[in-house]
Amino acid sequence: MKGAWASLFRGLAHSLLASVSMDMGTRWWSSESFVGLRRADLNDLGSHDVVVVGAPMDWGATTRAGARFGPKAIREADYLEADGHRPHLPTGIDPMEVMDVVDAGDIITPPGYLEDGLNAIRSAIAGIAASGAVPIVLGGDHAITYATAGGVADHHGHGTVALVHFDAHADTAEDHFGRLHGHGTPMRRLIEEGSVPGPRFVQIGLRGYWPRPPVVEWMRQQKMRWYFMSDIVDRGLDVVVDEAVGYAADGADHVFVSVDIDVVDPSAAPGTGTPEPGGLTARQLLDTVRRICRDLPIAGCDLVEVSPPYDGPGEITAHLANRTVLEMLNGLAESRLSR
């Protein structure tokens, strides 16, 4: 197909895509909103403090897919009233009393078309940032972070956003089976395009047997900073996080937090694409995420790699992910109250 026919076809495909709405009910999309938050429309967003949104895409996964069901499972892993309120016992804060928080549903990501999905996510997230809100994105495999952190940087300015990245893996591979995008490459792509430069990266929780030494050498050349699980064991999580916070805050106007649920030990988070034994405890993740969202100028967050088909009994990974989002919200609310 060439010339006019090709552009007619593209136009048609585009308008078909634009006309698909949440209500058509593709079964992996969520019908519920997170904790019963008010719904918002991505195409007519208005002005809010925080927008929760799903990016149900897993065609960047290498082995265990299923993260397309992540947003739905995270929203449903809840046993309290869907009243849009969650007062936090230790702090006494209900983030939804402090901030205007809405759920914009799921971004349309055509199955199998990774780059189309990334483009849709990136423009949606840049739009949320432009509306003045902090996006909290429910993934999706980690490929989406090229679009979520990238979209936030598109709005705030390339080079101005630091990325605090919780993960068992560095996600800095040169390519994904010869392609640019996949769940092992997003951090490399962000650095290469300059939206989030290497010195703005802090990675926490790396372990295991990947990536190979040449990639680690590349990371060193980019002046990325990372903390292995073994650093956390040797030095203590608090010391490591203090250092990471200081590093991320230094000279950055904005911070994006990306949480790959596989940073947590598979005993507490088995439902994930690439489980790696020996990770953080659930408690450590919850407390650390809240603290980072409280102490740094957060411009966006994502929570990725929750794969419900591999989850353990009782949907333990989805429950942990749901509470991790609540700790993000609580940290953001604490930060607002202290200003």
Binding window for Mn ion (CB under 5 A); candidates: 97-105, 171-179, 230-238, 316-324: 171-179
DSSP characters for 213-277?
HHHHHHHHHTT-EEEEHHHHHHH-HHHHHHHHHHHHHTT-SEEEEEEEGGGB-TTT--SBSS--S
- Cis peptide preceding 211, ω within 30 of 0: yes
Among 260, 265, 302, 311, binds Mn ion (CB under 5 A): 260
Site membership for Mn ion, residue 167 (CB under 5 A): yes
DSSP characters for 119-148?
HHHHHHHHHHHHTTPEEEEEESSGGGHHHH
The number of helix segments (H) and strand segments (E) in the chain equals: 11, 9
Site membership for Mn ion, residue 142 (CB under 5 A): yes
Among 171, 295, 302, 334, binds Mn ion (CB under 5 A): 171
Site membership for Mn ion, residue 295 (CB under 5 A): no
How far is 247 from 234, CA to CA, in rounded Å?
19
Residues 299-338 that bind Mn ion (CB under 5 A): none
Binding window for Mn ion (CB under 5 A); candidates: 74-82, 92-100, 161-169, 315-323: 161-169
Total number of residues shown for the chain: 339
Please, which residue, 167 or 265, has the CB nearer to Mn ion?
167
Please, which residue, 154 or 260, has the CB nearer to Mn ion?
260
Binding window for Mn ion (CB under 5 A); candidates: 24-32, 73-81, 112-120, 136-144: 136-144
Q: In this structure, what DSSP letter does residue 69 have?
A: G
Site membership for Mn ion, residue 276 (CB under 5 A): no
Binding window for Mn ion (CB under 5 A); candidates: 35-43, 78-86, 95-103, 142-150: 142-150
CB distance 121 to 147 below 8 Å: yes
- Which is it for strands 134-139 and 50-55: parallel, antiparallel or unpaired? parallel
How many residues bind Mn ion, per CB under 5 A? 4
Site membership for Mn ion, residue 141 (CB under 5 A): no
Where along the sequence are the contacts to Mn ion (CB under 5 A)?
A: 142, 167, 171, 260
